[in-house]
Structure 1
Amino acid sequence: MDKKLRIAWGITGAGDRIKETFDVMKNIKRNHPVEIKVFASKAGEQVLKWYKMVDDVKNSFDGYRVEVNANSPFLAGSIQTGKYSCLVIAPATANTIAKISMGIADTLLCNSALMALKAYVPVIVMPSDYEEGEVITDLPDGKKLRLRIRKEDVDHVEKLKMIDGILVVTEPEEIERKIAEILKSRLNEE
């Protein structure tokens, strides 16, 4: 068995903690035997451009693709046929979380998450809106933005937590721990 974990990493249109998530992605690549290919939703690429991070993401990982439609690039098929050992969606918008929790597969990352679950491939998700109340997030120009997290969005996160095969994390650093657990599990299978 190949000791390198191949990760498909989805980036949606959430800007909250995007820079911290990028730092964690680099740490995972540096500290673990992994290959990370990034799949940005259309909105995800817009956010990466807004934060001036597209080139950094392209140059730091093993591939970068942007959603054309729910099946292009053909990420779902690559996940189901074993090309990837794990799908990470971080950060994930409330829209993506709601769709996955309700089984709606009309975008590249939602479709890929649902197909991954069918193939017993773990899906790690970091929702941007996971706790009801108010959050302060950083804008690209360094200014702060105050946002209200709605109960309805949190309800979708709670539903997502109950889906077998989905690992919900609330902080970027938790993703590295989950990746390490998956790696350890693979080594124990050998």
Structure 2
Amino acid sequence: MSLINTTVKPFTAQAYKAGKFVSVSDADLKGKWSVVFFYPADFTFVCPTELEDLADNYAEFQKLGVEIYSVSTDTHFSHKAWADTSPAIGKIQYTMVGDPSGVITNNFGVMREGQGLADRGTFLIDPEGVIQFMEITAEGIGRNAAELLRKVKAAQYVAAHPGEVCPAKWEEGEKTLAPSLELVGKI
């Protein structure tokens, strides 16, 4: 079932951010663009490469007014321990949400049946709390922050320019399309 154009369901969780434990809820996702980035588990293999890639690009997301929330079914205590022991995870300045109850992971439909672990799911949420983009990949397929940035820019452009759409491989500043009867069959 697609979650595109649905509102984020209510949740409350504990998280680790910039050396502190903080509380996070669905209300924190409203009023700005947000990326919710699920991964299977702390202290694993592909996950730290993805989270480090996000950390290395976090300033670019911030320039776009986007907040990042990484989520796994580990606790916020585990997130802190991982940040304290891994140079890659120690770079992270965004919020690392603990979801040991699985509420958030289930809300987004990325809980692995019978495993208690999240699939690799990426969700872009607009300032109204509506999911505009989702991507779920298999265990061994790492994601790319640069490609996610491109998709965020496209979503923000479309939101700010009703009646226009971004074609394949669109990059910021390139030509968009305005769907119309005259355009049918001419692309």
TM category (shorter chain) comes to 0.3 to 0.5
With the length of structure 2 as denominator, give the TM-score of the two structures: 0.44
- Higher relative helix content: 1
